[in-house]
Amino acid sequence: MKPAPFRYHRPATPAEAWETLAADPGAKVLAGGQSLVPLLSMRLASPPALVDINAVAGLDAIEIRDDGVHVGALVRHADLLASPEAGKVQPLLARALVHVAHPTIRNRGTSVGSLVHADSAAELPAVLALLGGSVVAGSVRGTRTVPAEQLFVGPLESSLRPDELALGAVFPALPEGAGVAFGEVARRHGDYALCGVAALVHGDTVKASYLSVSDVPTVVDLTGVPEEELGDVALQHLDPVGDIHATADYRAQLVRVLTKKVVRQARLDRLDDREAR
Amino acid sequence: MTTKLMGQKVQRTEDQRFLRGQGRYADDVAVSPDTLHCAVLRSPHAHARIVDIDVSGVLDVDGVHAVWTHDDLEGAMAEPLPLLIPHPALTEGRTQYALAKDEVNYVGEAIAFVVAADRYLAEDAVSRIEVTYDFLPPVVGIDAARAATNLVHPDVPGNVAARMEQSTGDVDAAMRKAPHTLALDLTVERSACTPLEGRGTVARWDPDTNRLQVWTSTQTSTGVRAVVAAKLGLDLGQVDVVTPDVGGGFGVKINHPWPEELLVPLAAMTLGRTVKFTEDRREHFISSAHERGQVQHIEVGFDDDGRLLALDVQFWHDHGAYIPYGLIVPIITSTQLLGPYKPRAYRVVFESLYTNTVMVTPYRGAGRPQGCYAMERTMDAIAEFLGRDRTEVRAANFIQPDEFPYDQGLIFQDGRELEYDSGDYPAMLEKAKALIGWDEFPAFRDEMAAEGRRVGIGLACYVEGTGVGPYEGAHVHIETSGKVKVATGLTTQGQGHQTVFAQLVADTLGCRFEDVEVVTGDTRRMPYAVGTFASRAAVMSGSAIHLAALRAREKVLRIAADALEAAEDDLEINDGVVSVKGAPLDGGAAIDLGTVAVLSNPLRYAFDEKSRIATQFSVGDPGKPPVADDDEPGLEGKDFYSPERATFASGMHAVIVETDPDTAEITILKYAVVHDCGRLINPMIVEGQIHGGVAQGIGGALYERMAYDESGQLLNASFMDFLMPYVTEMPDGIDIDHLETPSPLNPLGIKGAGEAGVIPSAAVFASAISDAEGFPITAMPISPSELFALRRSLVEPVETEDPS
C-alpha cells in the first residue's frame, strides 16, 4: 500500500496551478486527498504527477453572496458543516454533510473535491444537483462556470478537463418558503449510503435527488405525485444495482421508504420555516 | 496488612503508555534508515499452476537487494511449512510453502519475496515480476468443496482433509424412541480476527555473537523461535525472539510460522542487514487467516419437556487451501456444541474441507460460536415446536450444580476428556433473565407494537473450555533495589497482563504493586512457554506466576528469618518489608526485600545503599559453604503450572433487538451478559474483555463477512467493504453480571475470560431476530438486505395470494 512514483508540484497561485496542470499532462489535483490517496496507495491509480493545491492562496473561503453559498476548493467538509452562515442560507448543506464519512475524514476532505470526484454514492454531488448549483473551473484558457447538470457525466467522471482546476462551487440559497431534507441508509455510520435522498419542496414543486442508486447523481421531479407513489415514480428514473452489501431489490425498497420520508420532512421543513417567520 | 489486590478493579498500568501513543510495536523496532524492507508478490488467482516466473525486470533496479522465488530456497526452507497440530483423523494434511512451488491455491498466496531499501521500492519491484499461470478451476465455498467436481489438491479425494466422529450413547436407537424429532439446516459464514496491527517481523543477525534477534507480532514467541531455528539450521540457543507490543491477535497470530516470519530472518542472515516486513491491510485480508465458515445439519429427538434424548449433528467445515493448525476449530465446535446441556445420546460427524480460499485458523471463540449457534438454534426450534418458553427448554437440559465434575464422554481439543470442573447454570439463567427483563418482555413487545415497532428477544448459553495446557512457567526475581521483575513466556496483545500478573505477585509476595514489572513473550527471559490463545493466559501464566512468587516468598522468609533471628512462621511481608507479625514496624525487627536480595548473594561487593544496610545483618553458617547444596545465589523463584485438563467457564447472553418494518435495519436496544470465569482477578479487565468480545460478536453477526466471488476473489478486502463495526454500531451500554464458581483445578480458582464475549453472538442475534420476525433465521451473519429478502420470500407471498 505504497503509491507508485509520481512527480510532486506545490503551486502557490491558481495560475501557477493550471500552468502546472497544462505542462504535466496526466497530473491529478491533490486537495484533501481522502479519495485520491487511498487510490494511489492501493495502486488503483498511478498518475505521473500530483498538483498539491493546499498552498494555493485564496481558495479556503466560505462566502455568502446573493446567489448562495460560495465554497472555495480548499474548504474542508468540517468547516462548511460548522459554518452557521452557510447553514442559514442553505440548510441542506449541514443536513447532508453530517452523513459524509467520519469527523476525521471531514476534517481533511474538501467539499469541492467531493463534487469533482463525481462519485454518485457521495452526498454533496446529489445536493449540488438538486439545488442546481455549479462549479467554477480554471485553466490556462481562463475560467468557466459548469452547472451541476453538466458536471456529472458518468461514474466517477466529471466534465472538467484534465488540465482544469476546480476553484470553488456555488450552492444556491434556499428560496423563501421552500423546504429541504436529507436522509440515507448506510450499513455503518459514515459508510457510503446504500441509498440516499435529498428533497426540495418549493411551492407546488417537489424534487428529489438520489445517491447510490444511479450512475450519476439523479434529480427526479416529483411534483404532483401522490405520496404513496413517490418512490415508484422515482424508480422509473433510477437504476439500483446489487452488490455485496445490498441487492437491487433492497435498494429499490430504500428508494420507496426514503423518498416518502424525506419528501415529508422537506414539506414539514417548509412549514416549520413559515411558522418561524 | 496490605489490601489484597485479587478481585480489585485495579487500573491498567499499560494504558498510560498505549493511550499516549508510546506503545512499541514491531514496526516501531529498527526505524533506522539502514533497515531493509520487504514486499511479497501474491497470487492474483485462486487456483493455478505456475508456468514461469520472470524476475529479470527487477534484478537491476536500484535499491533492490534480493528477489527470491521458491527456486532460491534451500534445505528445510524449500520444504512445506509445518503442520503444527497433527491428528489421527487428519489423514490429508497439506500446508503451503514459504514461497509457492509450482502452484497457487488461493488469492494472496506468497510467490516471490523482494527486499529493498524501502517498501515503496519493494512494491515497485513486485509489480515488475512477471508470472505465467496455467489456470485451474477454483473451489470456492462449502457446496463446491462437497460436490468435489474440482479438487483443490489433486491427491486429496473429495477435498476432504479429515472426517471425524465422536458419540456417546446409541443415538439411532434414542432417536427412534423419541416422542418428537426435528431437523435443522444452518450456515455460518466466514469472518476474521482483523487486529488493528497486522503481521510484522523484524530480524537482525549479529555476526560478532553469531546470534539472530527476531521481533515478531505473534501470540507465541517460543513457537516462532523453535521454527526459525529449525528452518534456518540454527541452534535454538542462537535465536532470540522478542514479542513487542502487539496490536491485537484474536487468534490469527497463534498460527506460525508465516512465510515472512522465516523469510525475514533468512534475509537478515543472507544480506547482513536488519530486515523488516510490515503487512498492509489488504495483505492481511488475503494472506493471513479467516474463520467460522460451516454448514450444519442437526437432527434432534426430545420429550414433551424439551429434554434432549438424541442429538445427531453433521457439519462441514471450510478450512481453506491449507490446514497448518490442524483440526482444532472443528474439534472445538463438535465438543463445545453441547454447552451447559446433557443430551442422553450425542453423535457428531464433521468433514474438514479444502477450498481455494485463505486458510482457516482459530479466531476468538475458535469454533465455539458455530457450536453454540447449532445448539441454541436447536433449543429455540424445540421451544417453538412445543410452544414452551425458550428458557424453560434450556433449563430442562442443564447440568445441575451437584453433578460436577461432569464428564461429557467426549475427547476435547487438548486430547483430554471433556470434563466440566464447575459451574451453576440454573443460577446463571435466573441472573440473565433478570438482567435482560425476560419476564417483562411480552408487555414491552405489546407496548412497542402499539407504536408500530417490531422487537424481539433472544438468549444463548455457552460453556468454554479455557486454560488448556500443556504448561506455562514464570520467573520472579527480586532485585537489590527491591523491584520485583517477573517474566512469563507467553505473549501479550493488549489484554492487561502487566496489571493482573502484578496484582497476583503483589498479593502472593507481599510487595508493592508499583514495584512489580512483568515481561512477556521474550525468549531470553523465559525460554519455555506455549502462548496466548484459548483464554489461557490468566489461568496458565497467572497460576505459574503465583507458584513462582510463592517460591520466592519462601526464600525471602528463610533468609529474613536468619537475619532477624526469628522463626519463619512468625514473619509476614507487607509493602515489601519483612517483619515479625504484630511487632511495630518502627523500631521493631524488619528488613526490606532489597536488603534480603543482597543477603541472598554471598558475593558482597558493595554497589549500593542496600549493600551498606545489609552489613548490619548476619546470615549463613560460617562452618558451611556460602551456597548450600540445595540452594543457589540470588533471590528468585521459578515454577511451572501444568493442569490435568481445561477449566470450563460459562456464560449467557441476552439481547433485545428492533427490526425496522420498512428498511429491515436491525437495532440493538439492550444487551445483557452473565459471565462465570471463576474467581475474578480484576473485574474491570474481565468486563473490558467482555465488551470487546461482544463488539466483535456484533460484527460477526450483523456486519462482517468474507465476500468471495465464484473465481475466488475476495471482493471486500478493505475496511471500506469489510464492515467491522464502529463504536457507533455498539449498543448504548452492555449490562454485565458475574457469577463466581471457582475452578478446583488451579490454586487461584480462576477460569479464562478472553474469548467469552464473542461466543454466543450469532446464536443470540438469530434468536432475537427470529423472535421479532416470526420466522427462523438459519443463516448468519444477516444484513438488512438479507432480512428484507427473507421477509419477501417467507412472509409476503402468503399475504399477496389472491383470495379469489
Domain residue spans of chain B = 16-22+35-136+199-278, 294-468+644-796, 472-641
Structural domains in chain A, sorted by start: 7-52 (3.30.43.10), 62-172 (3.30.465.10), 179-276 (3.30.390.50)
SS3 annotation, B563-596:
HHCCCHHHEEEECCEEEECCCCCCCCCEEEHHHH
Out of B707, B729, B784, name the one closest to residue A189 (CB): B729
Contact B663 A43 (CB under 8 A): no
Closest to B254 measured CA to CA, from B607, B667, B754: B754
* B368-386 helix and B761-773 helix, angle to the nearest 10 degrees: 30
Of A192, A244, A254, the CB nearest to B663: A254
Check whether A275 has a pLDDT greater than 80: no
pLDDT, residue A134, reads 97
User: What residue of A is the nearest CA neighbor of B790?
Assistant: A250
Neighboring chain A residues of B792 at a CB cutoff of 8 Å: 249
Question: Residue B629: its pLDDT value, please?
Answer: 85
Instruction: Mention every residue, 6+ apart, whose C-beta is less than 8 A from residue A77.
Output: A97, A100, A101, A105, A106, A107, A109, A110, A111, A114
B426 three-state secondary structure:
helix
Smallest Cα distance from B728 to chain A, Å: 6
Contact between chains at B282 and A185 (C-beta distance less than 8 A)? no
Yes or no: say if A165 and A22 are a contact pair by the CB < 8 Å rule.
no
Average pLDDT, chain B: 95
Chain B environment of A119 (Cβ under 8 Å): none
Instruction: Flag if B707 and A244 touch (Cβ within 8 Å).
Output: yes
Q: Taking 50 as the threshold, does the pLDDT of residue B706 lie above it? A: yes
Residue B414: is its pLDDT beyond 90? no
Cell of A107: 476534517
Residues 6+ positions from A65 with CB-CB distance below 8 Å: none
Tell which A residues from 155 to 194 touch B, by Cβ distance under 8 Å.
185, 187-192, 194
Q: Which of B281, B663, B718 is facing A185, going by the closest CB pair?
A: B663
Q: With beta carbons under 8 A apart, name residues in chain A contacting B725.
A: 188
Q: Do A245 and B785 touch (CB under 8 A)?
A: yes
Residues 200-239 of A with CB under 8 A from B: none
Distance from the Cα of A61 to chain B's closest Cα (Å) equals 31
Best to test chain A binding among B124, B286, B785 (most A CBs inside 10 Å): B785
Q: Do B723 and A188 lie within an 8 Å CB cutoff?
A: yes
The gap between the terminal CA atoms of chain B, to the nearest Å, is 86
Spatial contact of B521 and B490, defined as CB atoms under 8 Å apart? yes
Q: Do the chains contact at B723 and A247, CB–CB below 8 Å? A: no
pLDDT, one tens digit per residue, over B57-98 is 998 889 999 999 999 999 999 999 999 999 999 999 999 999
Burial of B37 (0-12, 13-18, 19+ CB in 10 A): buried
| Residue reference for cell 478493505 | B718
Q: Note the pLDDT of residue B223.
A: 97
pLDDT above 70 for B796: no
Q: pLDDT grade, residue B587 (50/70/90)? A: low
What pLDDT does residue B624 have?
A: 87
Pairing of strands A205-211, A193-202: antiparallel
Grid cell for residue B78: 524449500
Q: In this complex, which of A2, A4, A189 lies closest to B726 when CB atoms are compared? A: A189
3-class DSSP assignment, residue B322: coil
The rounded Cα B373 to chain-centroid distance in angstroms is: 19
Dump pLDDT digits (tens) for A55-114: 999 999 999 999 999 999 999 999 999 999 999 999 999 999 999 999 999 999 999 999
The reply to whether B472-641 shares the fold of B294-468+644-796 is yes
Predicted local confidence at residue A260, as pLDDT = 97
Residue B52 dihedral angles phi and psi, to the nearest 5°: -160, 145
The 10s digit of each residue's pLDDT in B335-364 is 999 999 999 999 999 999 999 999 999 999
pLDDT, mean of residues B755-775 = 96
Distance CA B575, CA B593 (A): 9
What is the separation of C-alpha A181 from the centre of its chain, rounded to a whole number of angstroms? 15
Chain B closest-CA separation from residue A185 CA (Å): 9
Option in A4, A250, A257 nearest B124 (CB) = A4
The helix or strand, by DSSP H or E, that contains position B604, with its residue range, turns out to be none
- By CA distance, what is B785's nearest residue in A? A246
Q: Kindly give the residue spans of alpha helices, DSSP state H, lying in B178-290.
A: 221-232, 259-271, 281-287
Q: Which of B415, B332, B532 is nearest to B86 (CA)?
A: B415
Question: A244-267 pLDDT, tens per residue?
Answer: 999 999 999 999 999 999 999 999
Which pLDDT belongs to residue B803?
A: 45
pLDDT at B3: 63
Kindly report, residue by residue over B168-202, the tens digit of the pLDDT.
999 999 999 999 999 999 999 999 999 999 999 99
To the nearest whole angstrom, how far is the Cα of B456 from the nearest Cα of chain A? 21
pLDDT score for B519: 96
SS3 labels along chain A: CCCCCCEEECCCCHHHHHHHHHHCCCCEEECCCCCHHHHHHCCCCCCCEEEECCCCCCCCCEEEECCEEEEECCCEHHHHHHCHHHHHHCCHHHHHHCCCCCHHHHHHCEHHHHHHHCCCCCHHHHHHHHHCCEEEEEECCEEEEEEHHHHEEECCEECCCCCCEEEEEEEECCCCCCEEEEEEEECCCCCCEEEEEEEEEECCEEEEEEECCCCCCEEEECCCCCHHHHHHHHHCCCCCCCCCCCCHHHHHHHHHHHHHHHHHHHHHHHHHHHHHC
CB contact under 8 A, B788 and A245: no
B732 contacts in chain A (CB < 8 Å): none
Hey, are the CB atoms on B726 and A187 less than 8 Å from each other? no
Residues pairing with B164 in the sheet: B350
| B505-533 pLDDT, tens digit each | 999 999 999 999 999 999 999 999 999 99
Measure B295 CA to nearest chain A CA, in Å: 20
CA distance A244 to chain B (A): 7
Q: Which cell goes with B347?
A: 453423535
Residue B685: other Cβ atoms inside 10 A: 22
Chain A residues in contact with B726 by the CB 8 A cut-off are 102, 188-190
CB contact under 8 Å between B665 and A4, yes or no, is no
Are A217 and A231 in contact, with CB atoms under 8 Å apart?
no
Strand partners, B132: B52
Query: What is the DSSP annotation of B53-71?
Result: EE-HHHHTSTTEEEEE-GG
What would the 3-class secondary structure string for A44-103 be?
Answer: CCCCCEEEECCCCCCCCCEEEECCEEEEECCCEHHHHHHCHHHHHHCCHHHHHHCCCCCH
- Mind spelling out the 3-state secondary structure of B164-202? EEEEECCHHHHHHHCCEEEEEEEEECCECCCCCCCCEEE
- As its CATH architecture, domain B16-22+35-136+199-278 has Alpha-Beta Complex (3.90)
Contact A253 B123 (CB under 8 A): no
CA distance B690 to chain A (A): 22
Across the interface, of A1, A2, A244, the residue whose CB is closest to B715 is A244
| Among A residues 11-40, those touching chain B with beta carbons less than 8 Å apart | none
Alpha carbon distance B308, B341 (integer Å): 8
pLDDT digits (tens, 9 = 90+) for A131-177: 999 999 999 999 999 999 999 999 999 999 999 999 999 999 999 99
Copy the grid coordinates of residue A117: 470526484
Q: Which residue of A has its CA nearest to B723?
A: A188
With beta carbons under 8 A apart, name residues in chain A contacting B663.
185, 253-254, 257
Residues in chain B whose Cβ is within 8 Å of chain A: 119-120, 123-124, 127, 280-282, 662-665, 703, 707, 715-716, 718, 720-721, 723, 725-726, 728-729, 783-785, 788-789, 792
> pLDDT band for position B789 (50/70/90)?
very high
B218-264 pLDDT per residue, tens: 999 999 999 999 999 999 999 999 999 999 999 999 999 999 999 99
Residues of chain B contacting A247 with CB distance shorter than 8 Å: 785, 788-789
Task: Between A277 and B33, name the one with better pLDDT.
Answer: B33
Q: Would you tell me how many other CB atoms lie within 10 Å of the CB of residue B187?
A: 17
Q: What is the CATH number of domain B294-468+644-796?
A: 3.30.365.10
H or E element in which residue B765 lies: helix B761-773
| pLDDT tens-digit readout, B545-569 | 999 999 999 999 999 999 999 999 9
Chain B residues touching A249 at Cβ < 8 A: 788-789, 792
Residues of B in contact with A189 (CB under 8 A): 726, 728-729
Q: Please compute the mean of the pLDDT values over residues B373-379 and round it to a whole number.
A: 98
Residue type, B666: I
For testing contact with chain B, the best of A244, A255, A257, A258 (most B CBs within 10 A): A244
CA dist., res. B246 & res. B249, Å (int): 7
Q: What pLDDT is attached to residue B799?
A: 47
Q: Distance between CA B556 and CA B568 in Å, rounded?
A: 9
Which residue bears the cell 500443556? B470
- Chain A residues close to B715, C-beta within 8 Å: 244
Rounded to whole angstroms, what are the CA distances from B323 to A199, B91, B361? 54, 11, 8
How many angstroms away from the CA of A13 is the closest CA of chain B? 31
User: In this complex, is the C-beta atom of A104 within 8 Å of any C-beta atom belonging to chain B?
Assistant: no
- Give domain B472-641's CATH architecture: 2-Layer Sandwich (3.30)
* Model confidence at B802: pLDDT above 60: no
- Round to whole Å and give the CA distance between B166 and B364: 24
List CB contacts (< 8 A) between B788 and chain A: 247, 249-250, 253
Decide if pLDDT at B604 tops 80: no
Q: What is the pLDDT of residues A1-60, one digit of tens each?
A: 899 999 999 999 999 999 999 999 999 999 999 999 999 999 999 999 999 999 999 999
How many angstroms separate the CA of residue A243 from the nearest CA in chain B? Answer: 10
